[in-house]
Amino acid sequence: MTGSGTGPAHLEISELAVSFGGVRAVDGVSLELSPGEVVALVGPNGSGKTTLLDAISGLVTPSAGRVVLDGEGLDDMLPEERAAMGLVRSFQDARLFPELTVEDTLLLSEDGRNSSDVVSITFQLPWARRSERVKRADVDAVIGSFRLGAFRHRRIGQLSTGTRRVVDLASIVLASPRLLLLDEPTAGIAQREAEAFVPLLRRLQHMTGCTVLLVEHDVPLAFELCDRAVVMQTGTIVSAGPPEVVRRDPLALEAYLGASEDVLRATGPLAPAQPAGGLAGP
């Protein structure tokens, strides 16, 4: 491994396939994300979106294809080795410890990135004290940025689903991601709360500058946030390109967007459908 690198990451996925028994959950997917780009991955349940994130992060092993981060193949790397390169994966259920306070949760996230050894902390060695002050300053800053001050001393288990997800986003900032795989950040929360996530997600991307691959069931929200939209169906990509192009693509409409005319209208005004031009490039 060549090291963690700096700045937003460049991701290349080539002919990736993932099979479970006789089912091919991801079937020959090729996709490239430029540094700093936000790409939204949408599609019906079972289309392979989350499995694709799992394969990129190393949680499942592809049966074919390659995942390359900044020119380095990730095939033989464990999830923790990928994390050391700046690859951060979020989950739909915001996996936080319910008994910890918001402050302790964020300190724990910061500890994972910049830990001090137990002996140094116990004997309060000068460099360890400085390190702890920096950690607390970083946590204070992210609590302020995400307006979590009123919840600082609340336990995670006492928070609403929406607030837990905000804490999860704050912890992601502290992880300093270079590539962020963001899985359904608004799943299970009310529409009013979901709308409030647009500025929060923009703030996250602005603060980290990272490359983002976003899986999101809320199509209008995903299209508002992304530079490029990718539509999956039965493990394959059927449409990709700028949101204003994808929402008019007949292949995308048939695969997912056309399932609800209300959802489609919410993504913006429609123009007459043009003949499908095949898969758009990055």
Cβ within 8 Å of residue 119, ≥6 positions away: none
Give the pLDDT confidence of 11-39 residue by residue, as tens digits: 999 999 999 988 999 999 999 999 999 99
Closest by alpha carbon to 189, among 216, 156, 224, 157? Answer: 216
pLDDT at 271: 38
- The rounded mean pLDDT for the chain is 84
Percent of the chain with pLDDT over 90: 57
Closest by alpha carbon to 7, among 40, 34, 39? Answer: 34
Closest by alpha carbon to 239, among 223, 224, 218? Answer: 223
Percent of the chain with pLDDT over 70: 81
pLDDT at 282: 32
Instruction: Give, in degrees to the nearest 5, the angle at Cα 96 between 131 and 124.
Output: 20
Give the pLDDT confidence of 190-241 residue by residue, as tens digits: 777 788 888 999 999 999 999 999 999 888 899 999 999 999 999 999 999 9
Give the pLDDT confidence of 71-113 residue by residue, as tens digits: 999 999 999 999 999 999 987 666 788 999 999 999 988 875 5
Burial environment of residue 29 by CB neighbours within 10 A (0 to 12, 13 to 18, 19 or more): buried
Answer for the pair 234, 45: CB distance below 8 angstroms, yes or no. no
